[in-house]
Amino acid sequence: MSLRKKLWSSVMALSLVGAMTLTGCAPKAATPAETAPAAGTEAQAAAPAEVKVDYPKSALEFIAPSGAGGGWDLTIRTVAKVLQDTKLVEKPMPITNNAGGGGGVNLAYMQTQEGSDKLISVYSPPILLINLNGSSEYSYENTTPLARLITDYGAFVVPKNSKYKSIKEIMDALKADPKSVKIGGNSSAGSMDHIQFLIIAKAAGVTNLKEIDYISFQDGTATAQILGGHVDLLTTGLGDVQSLIESGDLIALAHTGAERVGEGALAEIPTCKEQGIDATFENWRGLFGAPNMPQYAVDFWQETLAKMVETEEWKTEAAKHGWADAYMNQADFTNFLKETNEDYKEILSEIGLLAVQ
């Protein structure tokens, strides 16, 4: 073979090897599975594998920032029950009651759990109000909002032997003498139970709101106090006193919804608007994670809670407790919290209880 032919053969051989390398066809030791690759196998192998996080891996920490039996407690227990019954979550979800400070004790605890993917707590308007009224240095911004779930309503109840038969009679008495009716509630002054009553009283034409006797029972004994006749009226959540309304031990004079809600005895309770008081108050409730909850956990709860609120199990529970559907995903809920925080600032400012400017 001439020198020219040898050189030409070498160039052709090198070109062939290069082409095989560039097209992924370079010779290699083939495994049995590779001898007949399926269409698209090479493209799939080239794509980065999606990282799947096994979550939740173990038991979660569900917290009610109140004592047993209240609205927060009922809500978080109902969430856990429905998640378990529907098998949306199969890990244990034990409930802890971390009461105190109108929810402030638990908010402070949540700061010690920053970055936790296990902690889930329920809150409602007090998560905003206790910060605005100066009771807590923390607010919703020191948590990870996950979703708004439901709206409950404020209820104004009296003992079955009370001389007051309507919310109008209460308001008329306060107009004549703001000290004439002792009002009890489980929240601190300037928080939800107090504020919802003042909003209705203001709309009813009661002046000197600061002079109204509001007694706070933050140990959760407000229901016992009203049953014992130590206060004249209890301002609370409708779901908090449902069983006592159904048993007849307490009489609900009104609730703060725009229209009647619930079933049975709950559906018989008139609204404030029905009685000529043009005001409402929504006791929304939602779930919050620890500050800086990992994104994989946030994503999981976004998907799971959206599914939960569509289940028949959840809808049945909501109807039973007189809860209105008020689901919001994380983005909408966060915007809602920001806007509502500004609304509450105005309310507290009007009655002289705003501490945070």
| Model confidence pLDDT, tens digit, residues 232-290 | 999 999 888 999 999 999 999 999 999 998 889 999 999 999 999 999 999 999 999 99
pLDDT at position 25 over 60: no
**Could you state, in order of their start, the residue ranges of all structural domains in the chain?**
61-152+283-350, 159-282
Q: Give the mean pLDDT of the chain.
A: 87
Instruction: Give 120's Cβ-side CA count (13 Å radius).
Output: 28
Q: Do the domains 61-152+283-350 and 159-282 sit in the same CATH topology, yes or no?
A: yes
Instruction: Give 45's Cβ-side CA count (13 Å radius).
Output: 8
Q: Which of 7-16, 43-52, 118-127 has the highest mean pLDDT?
A: 118-127
DSSP for 86-153, please give it.
TTS--S---EEE---GGGHHHHHHHHTTTT-SSEEEEE-THHHHHHHTTS-S--GGGSEEEEEEEEEE
Which pLDDT belongs to residue 318?
Answer: 93
| Model confidence pLDDT, tens digit, residues 37-46 | 444 444 444 4
Indicate the pLDDT class of residue 51, thresholds 50, 70 and 90: low
| pLDDT, mean of residues 307-329 | 94
pLDDT at position 174 over 50: yes
Looking at per-residue pLDDT, the higher value among 40 and 98 belongs to 98
Give me the architecture of the 159-282 domain, per CATH: 3-Layer(aba) Sandwich (3.40)
Phi, psi for residue 157 in degrees, rounded to 5: -120, 155
β-pair partners for 216? 185
Peptide bond into 145 cis (omega under 30): no
pLDDT at position 331 over 60: yes
Residues above pLDDT 70, as percent of the chain = 85
Looking at per-residue pLDDT, the higher value among 78 and 20 belongs to 78
| pLDDT, mean of residues 304-316 | 98
Which pLDDT belongs to residue 52?
Answer: 66
**Structural class in CATH, domain 61-152+283-350:** alpha beta
Which pLDDT belongs to residue 330?
Answer: 97
| pLDDT, mean of residues 78-101 | 96
Indicate the pLDDT class of residue 93, thresholds 50, 70 and 90: very high
pLDDT at position 16 over 70: no
Token representation of residue 143? 């948590």
Looking at per-residue pLDDT, the higher value among 185 and 51 belongs to 185
Length of the chain: 357
pTM of the model: 0.76
Which pLDDT belongs to residue 143?
Answer: 98
* CA 218 – CA 207 distance, rounded (Å): 26
| Model confidence pLDDT, tens digit, residues 188-243 | 888 899 999 999 999 999 988 989 999 998 777 899 999 999 999 999 998 889 99
pLDDT at position 11 over 80: no
Number of Cβ within 10 Å of residue 180's Cβ equals 14
